[in-house]
């Protein structure tokens, strides 16, 4: 397997970021979300445009992992979106299924945490996704005790945080 490169995400990466997100959801969330919901997922031009806009205006930052000239994983982060939460939030981190357990996810998270310069960081993870929860715990995140349920589809999410480092 050829090596991968981690570099800052740019608006031009938005299509490939969405391709990775949808492909990964269809594997990672099998058994967590309904098969019919996952089968209907597709890359939306509106979401690609929104992603591009957020990366352009700087409200979202991130990194992509590139192997053989293709984006194979990404992470996106910015200011915490929940009321009462200071610090930063990892909005998303995904790698293609064939990149699971290759170190790509850890490299993306490490680059993101380094860019955040020790600030407090939170994230939300599906309660029914033990693989992701173990990944975040290995990256130094702990469950904060907060839980929320999204409505479409109805899924419980657990909040994790990583304390600011000095």
Q: Each residue of 62-85: pLDDT tens digit?
A: 999 999 999 999 999 999 988 777
pLDDT over 60 (residue 166): no
Any residues with CB less than 8 A from the CB of 146 and at least 6 apart, and which?
Answer: 158, 159
Binned at pLDDT 50, 70 and 90, residue 92 comes out as: very high
- pLDDT, residue 130, reads 92
Share of the chain above pLDDT 90, in %: 84
pTM: 0.93
Q: Counting Cβ atoms within 10 Å, is residue 95 exposed (0-12), middle (13-18) or buried (19+)?
A: buried
Structural domains present in the chain:
5-117 (3.40.630.30)
């Amino acid at each position: 397997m050829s090596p991968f490169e981690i570099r800052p995400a740019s608006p031009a990466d938005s299509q490939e970021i969405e391709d990775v997100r949808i492909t990964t959801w269809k594997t990672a969330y099998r058994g967590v979300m309904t098969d019919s919901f996952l089968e209907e997922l597709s890359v939306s031009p509106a979401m690609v445009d929104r992603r591009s806009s957020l990366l352009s205006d700087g409200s979202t930052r991130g990194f992509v992992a590139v192997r053989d000239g293709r984006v194979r994983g990404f992470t996106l982060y910015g200011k915490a979106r929940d009321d009462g939460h200071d610090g930063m939030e990892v909005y998303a981190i995904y790698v293609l299924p064939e990149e699971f357990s290759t170190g790509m996810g850890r490299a993306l998270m490490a680059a993101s945490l380094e860019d955040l310069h020790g600030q407090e960081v939170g994230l939300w993870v599906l309660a029914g996704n033990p693989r992701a929860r173990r990944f975040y715990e290995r990256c130094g995140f702990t469950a904060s005790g907060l839980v929320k349920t999204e409505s479409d589809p109805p899924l419980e999410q657990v909040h994790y945080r990583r304390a600011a480092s000095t």
